[in-house]
Amino acid sequence: MLEYGTRVVAGVTPGKLGERVDRVPVYDSVRQAITEHAEINASIIFVPAAYTSDAVYEAIDSGIKLVVTITEHVPVQDSLQFINYARDKGVTVIGPNCPGLISPSESKVGIMPGHIFSKGDIGMVSRSGTLTYEIAWVLTRAGLGQSTAVGIGGDPIIGRDVLEVVDMFENDPGTRAIVIIGEIGGDAEERLAARIRQKGMRKPMVSFIAGRQAPAGKRMGHAGAIISMGAGTADSKIEALESAGVGVAQLPSDIPTLIKNALASK
């Protein structure tokens, strides 16, 4: 993140006060860090799953309004509790089990390889880290830069879902079109499609849904890839999105063409 240009001003590890990591001072608590660096407006959490909820609560109670949680294997009950607490406090949580977010050429709060992204006006929201990277590279090679890419995570309980991030992009003047990277499990894509059919969409959207070849009845991939009561399959998501006017790519490499066609039709 430092190499990318992100202003990382402090780190927190209890018992490490006074140490430095790549010139970044380390503190025993978030409160200490905030006292010394009043400009802090985001926290990124890498601590082990058993301690993640404590780190999230500490960031929230210290007044930080954006908390990016990279850690995987966070207990679902922990996620449910700290995400509800964050919402009550007006705090945005991204993750857990996510790669973070990046606004190319501006800032990266996450673990994605920054060199594959390029500055532009295509917003990306994704449940899959590796697919985020692959599709960002496809877009970059096609000359379609990105405004911001948000990896929301693949757990059953996450801080911000597809619909909420799409809303952010719809209201972002720097975003002209939106790429939605989904996968089997859950019903977020179906719910997005239902809302589009009801209210329409202001900006072109295209999508890729991973898991077309997943065997029926087999749980695969992220903890959130759970199919129930006929919802959450690749076919049901694709059918829902296409019925709402969202172009769905068969391959990641098809996405630039779908975007260009969608922008042209607007």
Radius of gyration for the alpha carbons in the chain, expressed in angstroms and rounded: 19
The answer to whether residues 209 and 248 touch, using CB atoms and an 8 Å cutoff, is: yes
| Mean pLDDT for the stretch of residues 141-151 | 98
Number of neighbours of residue 118 by Cβ within 10 angstroms = 17
List where CATH 3.40.50.720 sits in the chain: 11-94
Query: What per-residue confidence (pLDDT) applies to 215?
Result: 66
What would be the CATH architecture of the domain defined by 11-94?
3-Layer(aba) Sandwich (3.40)
DSSP state of 253: G
Residues taking part in catalysis: 222
What does the pLDDT look like over 42-89, one tens digit per residue?
999 999 999 999 999 999 999 999 999 999 999 999 999 999 999 999
| Mean pLDDT for the stretch of residues 183-196 | 90
| Mean pLDDT for the stretch of residues 96-105 | 97
What does the pLDDT look like over 208-244, one tens digit per residue?
998 777 666 655 555 555 555 455 788 899 999 999 9
For domain 100-265, give the CATH number: 3.40.50.261
How much is the pTM?
0.92
What does the pLDDT look like over 32-47, one tens digit per residue?
999 999 999 999 999 9
Average pLDDT, the chain: 93
What does the pLDDT look like over 113-128, one tens digit per residue?
999 999 999 999 999 9
List where CATH 3.40.50.261 sits in the chain: 100-265
